[in-house]
């Protein structure tokens, strides 16, 4: 399911990023690696690091769905959980010192995210099935991290990663809780004697 969300975001960026960013003859790679220096091999790149996955309690529903069966019974299922998947998005130019290209890439990504507040069916990857569409996409909001300084220090390792400008993006997906559901007898339905 999370890999399907990654694929969806990759397809969105590949489809929507202008072909001349950073230049017409340079391919921009999409990465989902942990963002430390040396991890992202193909550059220039946009990196989407999934750093937080939490149930969205505001969107929690307690209403069960009921599917009537032809035998006078029904299948009850709990509603899917709504889960917020948060990404930190960074840009990685070919030359680490090329801040202009880094900002150009991030600016282009920012425009794409702001254009797509919701992800509808044409933008959803085939391997992200069973979603309540459209998916909610929230961008350019505060992240769930307490301190970006500590984050970049943790990412530094031995080589050291300089702090980078970060865009924040959260997509809310549906996660089925019950695969089969539970069978129940419908009240007031006459069942033939066996």
DSSP 177: S
CA distances from 74 to 68, 69, 83 (A): 4, 5, 27
- The answer to whether residue 19 sits within a structural domain is yes
Enumerate residue ranges in the chain where pLDDT < 50: 158, 189, 194
Q: Which residues contact 142 (CB under 8 A, 6 or more apart)?
A: 168
- Beta 81-92 vs 45-55: how paired, if at all? antiparallel
Give the model's pLDDT for residue 165. 87
CA distance 57 to 69: 31
Give the model's pLDDT for residue 106. 96
Give the model's pLDDT for residue 118. 94
Give the model's pLDDT for residue 182. 67
- Joined tokens for residue 106: 């991030």
| Total structural domains within the chain | 1
CA distances from 155 to 24, 104, 130, 162 (A): 32, 23, 35, 9
Q: What is the model's pTM?
A: 0.82
Domain assignment of residue 28, given as a range: 2-63+76-174
Alpha helices by DSSP H, 65-165 = 99-115, 148-156
- The answer to whether residue 179 sits within a structural domain is no
- The answer to whether residue 187 sits within a structural domain is no
Give the model's pLDDT for residue 85. 97
What is the domain-level CATH number for residue 135? 3.30.2000
């Amino acid at each position: 399911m999370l890999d399907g969300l990654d694929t969806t975001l990759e397809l969105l960026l590949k489809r929507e990023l202008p072909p001349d960013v950073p230049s017409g003859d340079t391919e921009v790679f999409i990465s989902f690696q942990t963002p430390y220096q040396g991890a992202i091999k193909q550059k220039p790149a946009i990196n989407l690091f999934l750093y937080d996955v939490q149930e969205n309690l505001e969107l929690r529903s307690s209403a069960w769905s009921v599917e009537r069966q032809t035998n006078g019974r029904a299948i009850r299922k709990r509603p899917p959980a709504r889960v917020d998947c948060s990404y930190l998005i960074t840009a990685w130019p070919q030359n680490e010192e090329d801040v202009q290209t880094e900002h150009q890439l991030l600016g282009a990504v920012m425009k794409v995210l702001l254009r797509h507040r919701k992800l509808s069916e044409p933008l959803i990857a085939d391997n992200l099935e069973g979603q309540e569409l459209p998916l909610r996409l929230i961008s350019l909001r505060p992240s769930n991290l307490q301190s970006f300084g500590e984050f970049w220090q943790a990412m530094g390792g031995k080589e050291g990663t300089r702090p980078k400008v970060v865009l924040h993006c959260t997509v809310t997906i549906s996660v089925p809780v019950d695969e089969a559901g539970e069978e129940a007898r419908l009240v007031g339905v006459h069942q033939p004697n066996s």
